[in-house]
Chain A
C-alpha cells in the first residue's frame, strides 16, 4: 500500500483508472466541543470530486473550509457521515500517503536546507538517497528554485518559501494535492505568478487539487468547480462550474466568461455573508 503511493508514475495506480471519485463525501457533519459549548463546524456536507478536477472552497471566515480540508486529510475526524478519499477511509488514505498538503504558512523546518526540506517526506517514506536527490532537484526546478537548494529557509522570501512547500508536497508525487490558502499571505504579483506555476503543474500532471481561498478571482482563475460555503453552521450553499479549459493565460481574467463566473460566485457569497458582526 505504501509502495503504491511512492511509485513515481501515479497513472499506473488503480486510483487513476477512474473506478471511484477522488473524494466522495456524504452527509458529513463535524461538531467541536469547546469550553463554552459545542460549535457546528460542518453540517450535512455532500460533495463528490472527480479525478483530475481542480476544486476551490470559498467562503467567509469560520465557514469550515479549512476544517473540511482537514477531514479529507485525516487531521480531523467527522462526527457523523461518510467520506472516502481515493476509495479509502481518510485514515487509510493518509497511511497510504495518498495526498500532499500545503499549509497556510510554508512550515519549513528552519534547520534544514531548502533541498533537505523537499527531501523530508522522501526520507520518511524511505526512498534511497540518489532518488531523493533527483526528485528534490526536479521539484525545485518545477517551482523555479533550482539555484536555492543549498540555502536555508530564512534566506528566502515568503513567496519563495511557499514555493518550496509546494515542491515538498509534490515530491512524493501524490495524486491528490490539498492546498489550504497557500498564497493568502503573499502580495498580488507573487500570487499571480504562483497561480500560473500551479496551473502549469496541474495541467502537466493531471492531479486532483483541492484549494481553499478567500479570493474570488483566484478561485475562478484556477478551478474547474467552485464550492461556496457559509458559516454557522459550516455548509455548502452552492457549487459553481468554471469551465475555462485547462490552458489559462493570465489575460483570461479579462474575458467575459471569467467575469460571468466571478459574478456568480460573488452573488452566492453575498447571500451567505452576514455583515452584522
Chain B
C-alpha cells in the first residue's frame, strides 16, 4: 500500500493515481458500508427471530440455526428487512416496471421530485427577496425576522395538513400544496444565509463603492451579491435537502395516491416493510443526488469567481 500511495502522491502514471484514489476515497466509504451491512444483517436476525421461531413452533418443526437465519432473511413482512430484500424490491420497482405504472418507484420518485424542485425554486426566490429586503431596508429586519424564525418553530407535520386543506378549497391539489410546503421549509436557510452573506462586505469595500458614488443597485449587484455567493450555496445545500423532506411529508397526511410519501403510507397500511424501505432508499438517493448537483454547481461557480483551489 505504501508504494502505491507514494506513486499516487508523486502523480506518476494513471495506474498510480487510480490506486491512490482507491485507497483515499473508495476504501473509507467501502469500510463504512461493509460495517453497516454486517450490523444490519445481525439486527435482522435479532428483530425477525421471535416471529420466525413462533412460526416454526406452531408448525411443530425444530429448526436448525441455519434454517432460522435463512428464514429471518426471507420473510414477506419482516420487522427489519435484510438489505438484499430491499435491493431486490428496489430493483424490481425501478427497472421491472414501466415508468408510467403506478407500481413503478420511478413514477413515484418523479411525482415527489417535481414538487421538490418547484418548492425549492420558489423557496430560493422567497429567501433571496426576504434577505435583500432585510439588508436594504433596516425597518424590515425588526418587522420580518421574528416571523421568519417563528415560521420554523412550528412542526411541519402540524401545518402541512392545513396548507393542503386550504389549497384544496381553492381547487389546488397535487403539486401546488406540496411545493408550497417545500418552499415553506427551504426559504429559511437561504434567507438566513443570505442576510449574513449580503452583510459580509467589510467597511473598506463599502467605502470604495461610496467613493465611486455607486447607486444602491450597483452596491447590491457588484458587491453584496458576489460577496454573498459562498453563503448562498451553503444555504442552497440545506434548502434542497429539506425541500425534499417537505415534499415527502406533504404526501403523508393527505392520503396522496402518488409520490414517495404515498408509497411510505400505503406500505405502512399493509405492513409492506420492504416497500417502505425501498421508498426510503429512493428518497435518500434523490437527496444525495440533489445536494451533489448543488455542490457541483457551487464548485464550478466559485472557481469562476477566483476561489483558491
Q: Are B211 and A73 in contact (CB under 8 A)?
A: yes
Interface string of A99-132 (1 = CB under 8 A from B): 1110101010111110000001101110000000
Per-residue CB proximity of B212-239 to A under 8 Å, as 1/0? 1110001000110011010000000000
With A103-B204, A107-B204 as contacts: A75 and B210 at CB distance below 8 Å: yes
For window 53-97 of chain A, which residues contact chain B by CB distance below 8 Å?
A: 73-75, 94-95, 97
Residue of B nearest to A94 (CB): B213
Beyond A94-B211, A97-B213, whether A111 also contacts B218 by CB under 8 A is no
Least CB separation from B209: chain A residue: A124
Count of B interface residues, CB-CB < 8 Å: 19
Chain A 19-60 interface mask (CB, 8 Å, partner B; 1/0): 000000000000000000000000000000000000000000
- Given A107-B205, A125-B212, the answer on whether A154 and B308 have CB atoms closer than 8 Å is yes
Residues A103 and B208 in contact, CB atoms below 8 Å apart: yes
Verify B211–A99 contact, CB threshold 8 A.
yes
Q: What's the minimum C-beta distance from A102 to chain B, rounded to whole angstroms?
A: 10
Does A202 sit within 8 A of B, measured CB to CB? no
Contact residue among A74, A107, A123, A154 (Cβ-Cβ distance under 8 Å from B208): A107
Shortest distance in angstroms between B222's beta carbon and chain A's nearest beta carbon?
Answer: 7
Name the residue of chain B whose CB is nearest to the CB of A103. B204
Q: Taking the complex as formed, is B207 at the interface, i.e. its CB lies under 8 A from any CB of chain A?
A: yes
User: Taking A109-B205, A109-B223 as contacts, is the C-beta distance between A121 and B212 under 8 angstroms?
Assistant: yes
Indicate if the CB atoms of B306 and A124 lie closer than 8 Å.
no
Question: Given known contacts A94-B211, A125-B212, is B222 in contact with A120 (CB within 8 Å)?
Answer: yes
Nearest CB of B to A196, in Å: 25
Scoring B212, B222, B308 by chain A CB atoms within 10 A of each residue's CB, the highest score goes to B212
> In the bound complex, how far is the Cα of B211 from the Cα of A120, in angstroms?
12
Write the chain B residue with the least CB distance to A152.
B306
Q: What would 11 more interface pairs be, CB under 8 Å, given A97-B213, A154-B306? A: A109-B226, A111-B227, A111-B305, A111-B306, A112-B226, A112-B306, A120-B212, A120-B222, A123-B222, A124-B213, A124-B214
Between A and B, 25 residue pairs with Cβ closer than 8 Å are: A74-B210, A75-B207, A94-B210, A94-B211, A94-B213, A95-B213, A97-B212, A101-B207, A101-B211, A103-B207, A103-B208, A107-B204, A107-B205, A107-B208, A109-B205, A109-B222, A110-B306, A111-B229, A111-B305, A111-B306, A113-B306, A120-B212, A124-B209, A154-B306, A154-B308
Q: Give B82-130 interface residues, CB cut-off 8 Å to A.
A: none
Q: Does A234 contact B (CB under 8 A)?
A: no
Q: Sorted from nearest, which 3 A-B pairs have the closest CB atoms?
A: A152-B306, A111-B305, A107-B204
Cα–Cα distance between A277 and B218 once the two chains are bound (Å): 44
- Inter-chain CA distance A137–B213, complex, in Å, is 23
Q: Is the interface of A mostly helix, strand, loop or mixed?
A: loop
* Cα distance A153–B229 in the bound complex, in angstroms: 17
Residues of B within 8 A of A107 (CB): 204-205, 207-208
A75 CA to B210 CA, complexed, in Å: 8
Residues 146-170 of B at the A interface (beta carbon under 8 Å): none
A97 CA / B218 CA spacing, docked (Å): 15
Which of B211, B213, B214, B226 contacts A111, CB < 8 Å? B226
- Chain B residue at minimal CB-CB distance from A112: B306
Which residue of B204, B209, B229 contacts A105 across the interface (Cβ within 8 Å)? Answer: B204
Complex Cα–Cα for A107 and B208 (A): 8
Collect the chain A residues with CB atoms within 8 Å of residue B226's CB.
Answer: 109, 111-112
Shortest B179–chain A CB gap in Å is 32
CB contacts (< 8 Å) of B305 on chain A: these are: 111
Chain B's closest residue to A114 (CB) is B306
For A97, the chain B residues whose CB sits under 8 A away are 212-213
B205 CB to closest chain A CB (Å) equals 6
Which of B208, B214, B306 contacts A101 (CB under 8 A)? B208
Residues facing B in A110-167 (CB within 8 A) are: 110-113, 120-121, 123-125, 152-154
B213 (CB) vs chain A CBs: closest residue? A95
Chain B 251-309 residues near chain A, CB threshold 8 A: 305-306, 308
CA distance A103 to B209 in the complex (A): 12
Closest Cβ of chain B to A5, distance in Å, is: 9
List residues of chain B with CB within 8 A of the CB of A121: 212
The answer to whether A75 touches B204 (Cβ under 8 A) is no
Cα A81 to Cα B130 in complex, Å, equals 42
Most buried by B among A97, A103, A109: A109
Q: Which residue of B lies closest to A120 (CB)?
A: B222
C-alpha spacing A124/B223, complex, angstroms:
12
Q: Which residues of B contact A94 (CB under 8 A)?
A: 210-211, 213
A190 to B207, CA, bound (A): 26
User: How far, in whole Å, are A50 and B205 apart by their CA atoms in the complex?
Assistant: 30
